[in-house]
């Protein structure tokens, strides 16, 4: 009990003193996850749109695979990516292992199925009459696609935010490909893991509280977005 209370005390003192190292760790977390999200969204949204809008052979299989991959174990992703990025692996020449870029890559792999799958669900739940209305008002196929994606925007945004929440809280993959190097690839979750290992429970808990606070903010935004979507339906 004592350590929980002192964890909270330490958390608030860390936050209010804007500890420089802590800020660096928080910003790196946001940066890595933000970058991962941009990559995942840049690939996942068009991908989700295609499987949401087009009918083609193997589509059902792709949807099942995507839904399965939403629960990809981060350590498996981390290990696979480690073997690929390792100097002895196929992409070793790029020298990406133990860099923030490698971490962002791992997280975008984790985020991609979430973004694509939720984007797909959001799009298929758009009333088919929207597509027809768009066509009859003179939209080109591309304009139709954009219109449908705009209609599905709240669902799509929920997906993107859910993915952000997942990667922010992730530790297994980035620990393996990032190496948890102080001041370089050390983010909130890996710091928590390390400090727990070292027995610095207060610091670990303090960081956990910061992480929770960020998750809370993300979820509040998510809830707000979902409410917007419901209100106008």
Partner 1 sequence: MRLFKSLLLSVLVLSVVSVPAVSAETRIRCASTTSTQNSGLFDYILPIFEKKTGIKVDVVGVGTGAALEIGKRGDCDVVFVHAEEFELKALKEGYFVNRYDVMYNDFIIIGPSNDLAKIKDMKSASDAFKRITETNYFFVSRGDRSGTHIKELSIWKKAGIEPKGQKWYLEVGQGMEKTQRVANEKKAYTLTDRGTWLATKDKDKLEMSIVLEGDPILFNQYGIMAVNPERHRHVKYKEAMEFVIWIISQEGQKAIADFKDKNSNQLFIPNAK
Partner 2 sequence: MSELGLTIKEIKKSYNGKVVLNDCSFVFDRGKTHVIIGPNGSGKSTLLRISALLEYPDEGKVIYHDDYKTFEDNVELYRRITLVFPKGGLFNITVFKNAAYGLKLRRINKGEVEKKVEDALRDVGLWEKRNQNALTLSTGEGQRLALARAMVLNPDVLFLDEPTASLDPRNTSIIEEIISNIKRRYMPTIIMVTHNMFQAQRLADSVIFVYEGQIVDGGPGNKFFENPTDERAYKFITGQMVY
- Return residues touching partner 2 (CB under 8 A): 127, 129-130, 132-141, 143, 147, 150-151, 232-233
Residues 6+ away with beta carbon under 8 Å from 88: none
State the minimum distance, in angstroms, from the CB of residue 42 to partner 2: 24
CA dist., res. 220 & res. 229, Å (int): 14
The HSE-up count of residue 83 (CA atoms within 13 Å, CB side) is 5
Question: 221 touches which of partner 1, partner 2, none (CB within 5 to 8 A by kind)?
Answer: partner 1
Task: Note whether 23 and 191 are within 8 A (CB).
Answer: no
Unique residue bearing structure tokens 């690939």: 43
Q: CB–CB of 67/124 below 8 Å? A: no
Sign of CA dihedral 148, 110, 106, 211: positive
The alpha carbon of residue 168 and the mean position of all alpha carbons in its chain are separated, in whole angstroms, by: 6
Residue placing its CB nearer to partner 2 in the complex, 130 or 194: 130
Residue (132 or 219) nearer to partner 2, CB: 132
The binder of 219, among partner 2, partner 1, none, by C-beta within 5 to 8 A per type, is none
The rounded distance, in Å, linking the Cα atoms of 199 and 189 is 15
When the beta carbons of 12 and 224 are compared against partner 1, the nearer one is 224
Name the DSSP letter for residue 78. Answer: H
Query: In the bound complex, what is the minimum distance in angstroms from residue 125's beta carbon to partner 2?
Result: 12
Of 46 and 89, nearer to partner 1 (C-beta) is 89
Give whichever of 49 and 168 is closer to partner 2, judged by the CB atom. 49
Q: How far apart are CA 192 and CA 206, in angstroms?
A: 9
Helices (H), ranges, 2-140: 2-16, 20-53, 59-69, 74-85, 100-124, 128-136
By beta-carbon proximity to partner 1, the closer residue of 66 and 187 is 187
Binding site for partner 1 (CB under 8 A): 24, 27-28, 30-35, 37-38, 86-89, 92, 95, 97-98, 100, 157, 179-184, 194, 197-199, 221, 224-225, 228
Rounded (10°) CA dihedral 69, 70, 76, 78: 120
Which of partner 1, partner 2, none sits in contact with 197, Cβ below 5 to 8 A by type? Answer: partner 1
5 makes contact, choosing from partner 2, partner 1, none, with CB < 5 to 8 Å by partner type, with: none
Q: How far is the CB of 228 from partner 2 (least distance, A)?
A: 10
107 binds, among partner 1, partner 2, none (CB under 5 to 8 A by kind): none
* Residue 181 binds which entry of partner 2, partner 1, none, CB below 5-8 Å type-dependent: partner 1
């Amino acid at each position: 009990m004592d350590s929980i209370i002192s964890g909270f005390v330490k958390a608030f003192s860390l936050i209010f003193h804007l500890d420089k190292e802590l800020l660096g760790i928080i910003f790196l977390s946001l940066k890595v996850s933000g970058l991962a999200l941009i990559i995942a969204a840049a690939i996942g949204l068009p991908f989700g749109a295609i499987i949401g809008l087009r009918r083609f052979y193997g589509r059902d299989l792709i949807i099942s695979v995507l839904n399965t991959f939403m629960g990809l174990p981060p350590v498996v992703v981390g290990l696979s990516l480690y073997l690929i990025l390792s100097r002895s692996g196929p992409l070793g020449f790029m020298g990406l292992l133990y860099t923030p870029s490698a971490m962002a890559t791992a997280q975008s792999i984790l985020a991609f199925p979430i973004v694509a799958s939720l984007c797909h669900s959001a799009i298929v739940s758009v009333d088919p009459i929207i597509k027809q209305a768009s066509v009859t008002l003179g939209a080109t196929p591309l304009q139709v696609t954009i219109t449908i994606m705009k209609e599905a925007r709240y669902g799509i945004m929920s997906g993107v935010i859910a993915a952000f929440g997942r990667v922010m809280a992730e530790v297994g993959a980035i620990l393996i490909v990032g190496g948890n190097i102080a001041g370089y690839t050390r983010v909130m979750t890996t710091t928590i893991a390390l400090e727990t290992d070292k027995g610095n429970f207060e610091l670990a808990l303090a960081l956990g509280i910061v992480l929770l606070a960020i998750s809370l903010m993300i979820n509040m935004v998510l809830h707000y977005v979902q409410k917007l979507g419901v209100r106008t339906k």
